[in-house]
Amino acid sequence: MSDAPLPPGLDRASFDKALGELRKTLGDDKVLATELDRQTYLDPYALGTGLDHESCGALTPTSVEDVQAIVGIANAHKLPLWPVARGKNLGYGAAAPVLAGTAVVDMTRMNRILDVDTEFAHCTIEPGVGFYQMDEHLTANRIPLWMSVPANGWGSLVGNALERGIGYTPYGDNTSKLCGLEVVMPDGKLVRTGLGAMDGNKAWANYQYGFGTSWDQMFAQSNFGIVTKANMWLMPEPELSFHALVNLPRMEDIVWAMDVLAKLRLSGVVDHNVVFGNYLHDASAMTTRADWYDGPGPIPDDVAEKIQKKFNVGWWTFHISVYGDEPVAMAKKGLIDAAFKDKLATPIPWVPLRPGEPREPLAVAAGKPFVLPLAVVNWMGGRGGHIGFSPILPPSGKLAWEAFLRRKKRFEAMGLDYYSSFTVGHRHIANVNMILYDRDDAEMTKKAHDLFVQMIGDAREEGYGEYRTHIDFMDAVSKTYDFNGGALMRLNEAVKDTLDPNGIIAPGKNGIWPARLRKGRVA
Amino acid sequence: MIKAGPIALALGLLAAGSAALAQNAADPTARARADFPVSAAISRSPDEAVFRARCGYCHLEMGFGTLTLMKAQGPVKALLANRTDLEGDYVRAVVRSGLLGMPAITRAEVTDGELDAIVRYLTRNNPRK
């Protein structure tokens, strides 16, 4: 039996007093603070025990008033809070806070679907609403709207959008589909952004910016408030879509393929995030390493070829779709076929999809939630974990190739299997370098950690930075954003100190620490 | 080594648009269902509803948990709904502590009352001691 870790500045007695007040105000059933509770909020894929990020327990509000009460008590006692939507930020720390002793504010039970506007294609939801819950709602009510679903569909629509997660339909830049937030600020006041700043405004969910300064993105990947409600745009079900998986046999194929895909994205012919991954992308989801290779060090290239033959996949595979009214979808499909005509040995194997046909087999490409890709954690055997290093690159085949060569070499020098995807966005590549490890193998997790640190440095040297990171690396990654001596972080800190003088909301989130804890920042 | 069949199909599902997918598009779960027989003794109960809602992300036919168990213990034991050998305390421990790649589940997501229902459901066909 071990005691809860205490947040800095609180002793056992003052912590117990704060917890007692929370119990009294919220009710016992909304304060989850047993040793077992704390264990359930550890990062399930931590590089190590995860105890360096152990919470002091979780608070589970069911209303805006609960959230305001929590913030009030936290201010009075300087109890730090770590808000999560459904806590499924897997690979980034899940529900665990940066700072040990922080109380998780778990919004799982604030899960009301307040409105789905079928005519204008948007919804108003609480942060606890999950992709499966929304899918059931849309299906049961025969609402012809699609969500944009990330690779792990276990989580929350709002949480994913606030972390700038992505999906794979034309609405896949999830954070850009937020249209107005309701936020409990660090002083407990309730704010609505965008047109929602006008009480009763009828167009809140139709126009993002509002009047004057626009604040929605201020609450993404930050610690300036607790989002309690959001409007999100949904995609009208297309009259016709086509979906295809394309294999490219040689590793050098990434050079021309990135250039072709980037051009199709820029021109708008392809209007979704194109997942472009190496063979491990599929093999690691369905098999484990021991099925292929039990030697030490990274998988040799000849074994990799065997895996590719077995699954009939290339060195690279990518998924491509078109969506729209029938003439639009047909025309786009034709343009894509033409762009690849001289490059591929066989025609693109398109699969059509129309309303009323089952979307499940196409999963995320057709807005249906899916958790299966999580199986990558089984790759190394044992108690598996994954962590992704994801710098943003310009959409260039040459630059992707250079990044590929350098990262692959780094993985192999560290004795780890190289697994990478180059997701082609509208005007960028998100290059996810996925490190898979066995958590019970101390040497392997140390290598995974060291490789991650190495890649942060490499990318900074090349002029690239990550779009999102794990709680272990938030300080290190934020430091790579170093223009003018870290002027952006100084701005973040000025905002933090003004809005949250007691420093209670998510200390350390994305490298932003409140004044009273700034000295303790990890170097 | 790898068995063809469900794995190949699931890979097709992941790789949306593959040839395997095209062949199975009419009923994507047909093959999987054949490999994961649902016990005839299954009861359409409130307990089952809790199990499906809370554990179904990973422990229905094409789930991450089901496919992981299939690989480790074979098709008969892959679907938790079919099991007759799970002790209640074991289920509770796995839910709250996680197991291998499965994350621990919090009491915010599955309340103690819901966990009781899940345990009742998963142990309903256990042989009487």
Nearest residue to A377 via CA among A437, A420, A419, A432: A437
DSSP H/E element including A77 = helix A64-77
Tell me which residues of chain B have a pLDDT lower than 70: 1-43
Write out chain A residues lying below 8 Å of B104, CB-based. 39-40, 42, 44
User: Do A60 and A125 reside in the same domain of the chain?
Assistant: no
Here the ipTM equals: 0.93
User: Do A23 and A95 reside in the same domain of the chain?
Assistant: yes
Nearest residue to A221 via CA among A466, A25, A486: A466
Rounded to whole angstroms, the Cα distance separating A280 from A419 reads 6
Rounded to whole angstroms, the Cα distance separating A393 from A422 reads 9
Q: Which residues of A are catalytic?
A: 92, 467-468
Long-range contacts at A475-484 (CB < 8 A, ≥ 24 apart): A475/A508, A475/A511, A475/A521, A475/A522, A475/A523, A476/A522, A477/A511, A478/A510, A478/A511, A478/A512, A479/A511, A480/A456
User: Do A444 and A517 reside in the same domain of the chain?
Assistant: no
Rounded to whole angstroms, the Cα distance separating A71 from A410 reads 44
Rounded to whole angstroms, the Cα distance separating A428 from A233 reads 22
Report pLDDT for A1: 56
Beta-carbon contacts of residue A388 (< 8 Å; ≥ 6 apart): A91, A432, A433, A434, A435
B94 touches chain A (CB under 8 A): no
CATH number for the domain harbouring residue A120: 3.30.465.10
Write out chain B residues lying below 8 Å of A94, CB-based. 103
Apex A181 CA angle, A175 and A187, nearest 5: 120
Tell me which residues of chain A have a pLDDT lower than 70: 1, 520-523
Domain residue limits at A445: 240-468
User: Do A280 and A370 reside in the same domain of the chain?
Assistant: yes
pLDDT in tens, B40-50: 334 478 899 89
Long-range contacts at A438-444 (CB < 8 A, ≥ 24 apart): A438/A380, A438/A381, A438/A382, A438/A383, A438/A384, A438/A385, A439/A45, A439/A46, A439/A47, A439/A48, A439/A382, A439/A383, A439/A384, A439/A385, A440/A382, A440/A383, A441/A380, A441/A382, A442/A48, A444/A380, A444/A416
Contact A60, A32 (CB under 8 A): yes
Report pLDDT for A50: 95
pLDDT in tens, B87-98: 999 999 999 999
Contact B117, B50 (CB under 8 A): yes
Of B97, B100, B115, which to mutate for an interface test with A (greatest number of A Cβ within 10 Å)? B100
> From the CA of B73, how many Å to the nearest CA of chain A?
14
Residue A240, beta-bridge partner list: A324
Among residues A236, A271, A294, the one where a domain terminates is A236
Instruction: Quote the CATH superfamily of domain B40-122.
Output: Cytochrome c-like domain (1.10.760.10)
Contact A323, A238 (CB under 8 A): yes
CATH number for the domain harbouring residue A6: 3.30.43.10
Report pLDDT for A304: 86
User: Do A66 and A206 reside in the same domain of the chain?
Assistant: no
B33 touches chain A (CB under 8 A): no
User: Do A118 and A222 reside in the same domain of the chain?
Assistant: yes
B22/A349 touch (CB, cutoff 8 Å), yes or no? yes
Domain ranges of chain B: 1-35, 40-122
Q: Where are the beta strands (DSSP E) in A378-424?
A: 384-389, 392-393, 420-424
Sheet of A31-32, strands arranged across: A31-32, A57-59, A103-106, A81-84
User: Do A261 and A283 reside in the same domain of the chain?
Assistant: yes
B13 touches chain A (CB under 8 A): yes
pLDDT in tens, A439-487: 999 999 999 999 999 999 999 999 999 999 999 999 999 999 999 999 9
Residue type (1 letter), A303: V
DSSP 8-state symbol, A299: P
Among residues A215, A236, A257, the one where a domain terminates is A236
B40 touches chain A (CB under 8 A): no
Residue with tokens 């030697």: A295
Nearest residue to B55 via CA among B41, B40, B69: B69
User: Do A118 and A166 reside in the same domain of the chain?
Assistant: yes
B52 touches chain A (CB under 8 A): no
| Nearest CB to B11; choose among A311, A357, A363 | A311
> From the CA of A130, how many Å to the nearest CA of chain B?
11
Of B21, B55, B57, B115, which to mutate for an interface test with A (greatest number of A Cβ within 10 Å)? B57
> From the CA of B101, how many Å to the nearest CA of chain A?
5
pLDDT in tens, A115-172: 999 999 999 999 999 999 999 999 999 999 999 999 989 999 999 999 999 999 999 9
Contact A138, A113 (CB under 8 A): no
Residue A20 CB-half CA count within 13 A: 6
CATH number for the domain harbouring residue A286: 3.40.462.10
What are the C-alpha distances in Å from B66 to residues A8, A65, A391?
42, 40, 33
> Using alpha carbons only, how large is chain B's radius of gyration in Å?
16
The number of distinct structural domains making up chain A is 3
> From the CA of B14, how many Å to the nearest CA of chain A?
7
| Nearest CB to B13; choose among A44, A311, A363 | A363
